Structures are given as C-alpha cells and as structure tokens.
C-alpha cells in the first residue's frame, strides 16, 4: 500500500496547537487488559491473533503466555520475563486468565484519542490534529494507529524523534516498526507541513469540511446527555454543548487573531498564563471552571466557545455569564478589536435531567414518526372493528318472523319480535317517525302523499293517493293490478288480502 508524506515549509506566525496521542499498546497499561489490571506472577495471559505489537517496558513474572502466530512482543532495554508455578512468589496475586484487549488499531480520526496542549478543545473536528498542528506520539510507548483517510498536519514527533522532512518520515513508515504501528488502508495521503501560519486573521483547522467531518463525527454518533436545554452546536462540532458560542465577523485589514485571543484571555482571566487585573483574577476564581476555545471556521468567521464543568441545572450558566460580558465588551469596542459584528447563542437553563444531547435529531424524529404510525394503526384497527360490528346485523335480511336478540344491558321490551298477524285493515305496518301524521295513512302509499278517501267507495277506502301539493288529487284509475307500491316486509299480507 502507498503511504505518501509531503512536507511544505511556510513562513509565518505559529498558531497551531500541539495534539498528543493518548492510546498505546504497552504491557504495563492496566486499560489494555480485560481485568483492568497489569498481569501478576500467578496469571496466565493471552494475546489474540489480531495483536500486531506489544511493548513490555518493565520486568514481569508470569505463569504462562499464549502468543499469536504473527506479532511482536517488544522488550525495552534490559527487560526480562520470568515464569513460575510458585504462588508464593507474589502471594497477593490471586491468579487469573487475562486477555490483552488493545488488539485492534485505534483510528487517527477518533477525537477521544487526542488531547490538546492549549487546554480542552470544544470543537470535535478540531480535537483531531489540524493542518498547522504539531503531532506528538509520546516516548516510552508503542502504538497501533489506523489511517484510512487523507489528512494534513504540521509536524510529527514520534517516540522522541522529530520528523520534518519527507524522506525521514517515509523511511520510518516503511520500516518494520512503522508498519507494525501504523495500519494503513485505502491509500491515504498524509501531508506534513510546517505548523506556522502566515495569515494574521488566523488559519482554519481544515477538518470541518467533508469528508473529514463525517469521518470524525462518526465516532460520536451518540452524544453525551446534557443537563441543559436547546444547547447550540459549534461550527465543526458533532454534538451540542451547554454554554455559549460567540461569533465575530472581522475587518481583514485590522483584525489580528492572536492579539484578540490574548487580549480576551488576559482581560477576563481565561488564559493559562494571562496577566489579569485584580477584577479579572477575582472573576477567574469565581468562575474558575469556565473555559474559552477560540478558532477560525471554514466560513471565515471567528468562533469562541464558552463551556464550564458545572453539573445539574447550573450546567453552562457560568459560561453564559462570562460570554455575555465578553460579547458586550467586544460590541462596545468593535474598532479596537477589528470586528465588524458580534453575536451570541447559548443554551438554556435545564432542570438537572437529561434534557439535551442524549438522543440525536434523527433519533428524536424517528421516535415521533414511530408514535404517529402507532396512533394511526391503532385508530384504523378500532375504526374497522367498530364498522364491522355495526354492519354485521345489516347484512342479514330482516323478516317478519325473525328473532332479534337484545344485547346485555338493554331494558326489556326495548326490541321485540316482529309479529306476523293476519291482515287487519287497522294495522297495515309500522309507523315511520319521519312521516308520522295525525291521521292513519295507508302504509302502501307514499307517506307524504296519502290522504284518506271519504267518498264511501269501499274499494278505494284505503287506497286514494293524491299527488304531493295537489288540492284535489287525481282520479283513481280502476286497475285491479295496481293498488299502491309494495312493501317488501308485508308482501305476504298483501297476498292474503287479495285472496
């Protein structure tokens, strides 16, 4: 695989940070073992097949070691390993089977693997070495570093040796030691350039653009729970923070990044070596947990992130108070700072619960969608069930001799069996309440158009029909076949009457 290193020397003022790698593959590091402690004399230890290199820097006595087929156990100068079955050699050692768990390369792009020399880095993408940073791998350690994406840094100090030329660093990477400690895939290109910057307005980190941002934020897919509400996300950040973000737009002709940063740190007692006034020193003692991180974003603006270490409902409140004072001071002295505008956004006071950052925006949206889907599903089931129940009796034909069962709880007599009596001129059907009149009408005629004939004609006594709205209805046609319209519920009654 190809591993290209390019060194570019740029003259200018140094604004880069120093980022130190935190992980190692040392035998004596307790976090590298599954039991959380360094193996002792009565322990049996195992190195998985995936282990490529382990560094033993002190003498050790063990019961046994199981080594991988491929890998290296590197011993420091004058270091020895002894084996014994005598438990009295180290009586306090209970004797367990331990496994080395630092068996896979740690990614270069994981923000948790780095720490900055200038204090906490509040922007996730800038926690990883930027294009003007000095990269340091501590001495007395060996490492397992995974690199699969091109990146740009300033210089590299590896195990005490400073690499400032392309040939020297390339030679190391191609050596057996370099190949054991760097796992390279996808043919990345690592550019080494001097950590100086010749732009007085500051230099951008370069990690807050794609694909670097997505790669870095992939290691923070689950953001920590916050005890504040509506926490803002810094430019280049992966997660919201409790505190405040002050953003400045500047005049390129008068703004000086280093002067503004040093001036704010000194005036408000924020810098590690700030020459503060008495009032600033008192403020620093009162809000000693507040930190300010300043950087230039890829959008060409200056960003200051204020955070504190307070917990509960007070999380971020001290940072917000100090940020308000800084914003106010800048707003009143725009020309002095070389700033054209300043704005601030901050979190809100929480209740001490997990009110921000515990779930990603995508997770919240997913929960809302899931709730809506469940509500729609339950509503649909209820609707279909009720409709099915309401239509089940309508599908059955209604007969005069049908039995209608009463559901439990209805009063007796509420519904009764429809009788099938012999024809009676006084009872010709059931009354429809929508067409009820004061006089008994012929149920076989249109209820809106029936009037009782009083002409004395026995044949037409119950079958005189007048048109709706007519004063004197039409003459009755002597037609034995048409007496009125049929009522299907009383068809048998009509037949009996005609007989």
Report the percentage of the chain scoring pLDDT > 70.
Answer: 67
Can you give the pLDDT at residue 452?
52
Mean of the pLDDT values across residues 71-79? Answer: 91
Of 179, 214, 249, the position where a domain reaches its end is: 214
Q: Which of 125-134, 166-175, 460-469 has the lowest mean pLDDT?
A: 460-469
Q: 136 and 187, same structural domain?
A: yes
Q: Residue 457: pLDDT above 50? A: yes
Do residues 71 and 198 share a domain? no
Question: Tens of pLDDT along 465-489?
Answer: 444 444 444 444 445 554 444 555 5
Question: How far is the C-alpha of 417 from the C-alpha of 273, rounded, in Å?
Answer: 100
Domain boundary among 358, 381, 411: 358
DSSP-assigned states of every residue in 147-213: E-S-EEESEEEETTEEE-SHHHHHHHHHSHHHHHHEEE-S--EEEEE-SEE--TT----S-SSTTHH
Rounded average pLDDT over 240-261: 96
**169 and 71 part of one domain:** no
Q: Which residues pair with 183 in a beta bridge?
A: 146
Written as six digits, the tokens of 282 are 């008192």
- Cα–chain center distance at 19: 28
Q: DSSP letters of 351-365?
A: -SSS-BSSS-HHHHH
Radius of gyration of the chain (CA): 44
Report the Cα 60 to chain-centroid distance in Å.
Answer: 46
Share the mean pLDDT of the chain.
77
Q: Is residue 365 part of a domain?
A: no
The whole-number pLDDT of residue 118 equals: 78
Cα–Cα distances (Å) from 449 to 286, 445, 458, in that order, read 96, 7, 20
Q: Do residues 345 and 244 make contact, with C-beta atoms less than 8 angstroms apart?
A: yes
Q: What is the pLDDT of residues 95-121, one digit of tens each?
A: 999 999 999 999 999 999 999 987 778
Does one domain contain both 233 and 145?
no
321 and 240 in a common domain: yes
Whole-prediction pTM: 0.65
Q: Tell me, yes or no, whether 235 and 330 share the same domain.
A: yes
**Residue 333's domain is classified under what CATH number?**
3.30.70
- Regarding whether 299 and 153 lie in a shared domain, the answer is no
Q: Is residue 413 part of a domain?
A: no
Of 22-36, 231-245, 465-479, least confident by mean pLDDT is 465-479
Residue-range definition of the domain harbouring residue 90:
30-99
Task: Count up the domains in the chain and report the number.
Answer: 4
Supply the pLDDT for residue 357.
43
345 and 258 share one domain: yes
Are residues 15 and 65 located together in one domain of the fold?
A: no
pLDDT at 208 exceeding the cut of 70: yes
The CA–CA distances, whole Å, from 454 to 457, 463, 464, 480 equal 8, 11, 9, 20
Q: In whole angstroms, how far apart are CA 478 and each of 431, 459, 473, 484, 494? A: 28, 10, 15, 12, 18
Residue 477 lies in a domain: yes
Sequence-separated (6 or more) residues with CB below 8 Å from residue 490: 400, 428, 429, 443, 444
Say whether pLDDT at 371 is over 90: no
Mean pLDDT of 51-72: 92
Measured CA to CA, the distance from residue 127 to residue 19 in angstroms comes to 8
- Note whether 211 and 170 are within 8 A (CB): no
Residue 145, judged by CB atoms within 10 A of its CB (0-12, 13-18, 19+), counts as middle
Nearest to 260 by CA among 329, 158, 170, 185: 329
Angle at 362 between CA 358 and CA 364, to 5 degrees: 60
Any domain includes 414: no
- Is residue 92 located within the same domain as residue 123? no
What is the reported pLDDT for 197?
85
φ, ψ of residue 179 to 5 degrees: the values are -70, -30
DSSP assigned state of 482: -
- 403 in a structural domain: no
Q: Would you call the peptide bond into 277 cis, given omega within 30 degrees of 0 as the criterion?
A: no
d(CA 38, CA 28): 6
For 389-427, the pLDDT digits (tens) are 654 444 444 444 444 444 444 455 544 444 554 444 444
Lowest mean pLDDT among 188-202, 242-256, 453-467: 453-467
Q: Is residue 272 part of a domain?
A: yes
**C-alpha pair distances (Å), 337 with each of 226, 295, 305:** 33, 15, 18
Domain co-membership, 207 together with 262: no
Domain end call among 305, 330, 358 = 358
Q: Are residues 127 and 230 in the same domain?
A: no
**pLDDT over 90 percentage in the chain:** 47
**Which residues are within 8 A (CB) of 138 and not within 5 positions of it... i.e. 6 or more apart?**
20, 21, 24, 159
């Amino acid at each position: 695989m190809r591993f290209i290193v390019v060194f570019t020397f740029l003259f200018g003022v140094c604004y880069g940070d120093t980022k130190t790698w935190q992980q190692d593959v040392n035998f004596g590091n307790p976090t590298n073992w599954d039991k959380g402690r360094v193996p002792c004399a009565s322990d049996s230890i195992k190195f998985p097949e995936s282990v490529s290199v382990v560094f033993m820097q002190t003498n050790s006595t063990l019961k046994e070691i199981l080594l991988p087929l491929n890998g290296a156990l590197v011993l420091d100068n004058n270091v020895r390993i002894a084996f014994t079955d005598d438990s009295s050699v180290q009586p306090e050692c209970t004797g367990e089977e331990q496994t080395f768990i630092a068996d896979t390369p740690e990614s270069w792009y994981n923000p948790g693997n780095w720490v900055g020399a200038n204090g906490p880095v509040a922007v996730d993408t800038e926690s990883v070495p930027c294009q003007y940073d000095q990269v340091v791998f501590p001495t007395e350690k060996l490492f397992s570093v995974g690199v699969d994406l091109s990146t740009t840094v300033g210089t590299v100090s590896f195990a005490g040796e400073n690499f400032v030329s392309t040939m020297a660093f390339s030679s190391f990477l191609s050596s057996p030691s370099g190949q054991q400690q760097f796992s390279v895939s996808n043919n990345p290109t690592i550019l080494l350039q001097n950590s100086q910057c010749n732009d007085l307005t500051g230099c951008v980190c370069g990690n807050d653009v794609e694909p670097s941002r997505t790669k870095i934020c992939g290691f923070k897919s689950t953001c920590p729970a916050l005890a504040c509400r509506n926490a803002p996300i810094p430019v280049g950040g992966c997660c919201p923070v409790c505190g405040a973000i002050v953003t400045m737009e500047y005049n390129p002709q008068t703004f000086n990044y280093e002067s503004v940063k040093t001036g704010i740190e000194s005036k408000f007692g924020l810098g590690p070596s700030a020459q503060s006034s008495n009032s600033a020193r008192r403020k620093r003692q009162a809000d000693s947990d507040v930190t300010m991180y300043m950087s230039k974003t890829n959008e060409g603006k200056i960003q200051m992130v204020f955070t504190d270490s307070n917990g509960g409902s007070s999380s971020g409140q001290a940072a917000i108070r100090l940020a308000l004072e800084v914003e106010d001071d800048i707003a009143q002295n725009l020309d002095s700072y070389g700033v054209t505008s300043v704005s601030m956004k901050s979190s809100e006071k929480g209740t001490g619960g997990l009110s921000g950052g515990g779930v990603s925006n995508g997770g919240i949206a997913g929960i809302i969608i899931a709730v809506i889907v469940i509500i729609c599903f339950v509503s649909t089931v209820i609707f279909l069930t009720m409709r099915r129940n309401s239509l089940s009796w309508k599908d059955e034909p209604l007969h005069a001799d049908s039995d209608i069962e009463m559901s439990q709880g209805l009063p007796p007599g509420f519904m009764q069996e429809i009788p099938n009596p012999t024809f009676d001129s006084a009872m010709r059907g059931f009354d429809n309440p929508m067409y009820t009149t004061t006089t008994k009408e012929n149920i076989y005629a249109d209820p809106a158009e029936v009037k009782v004939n009083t002409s004395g004609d026995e044949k037409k006594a119950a079958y005189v029909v007048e048109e709706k709205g007519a004063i004197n209805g039409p003459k009755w046609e002597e037609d034995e076949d048409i007496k009125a319209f049929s009522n299907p519920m009383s068809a048998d009654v009509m037949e009996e009457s005609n007989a």
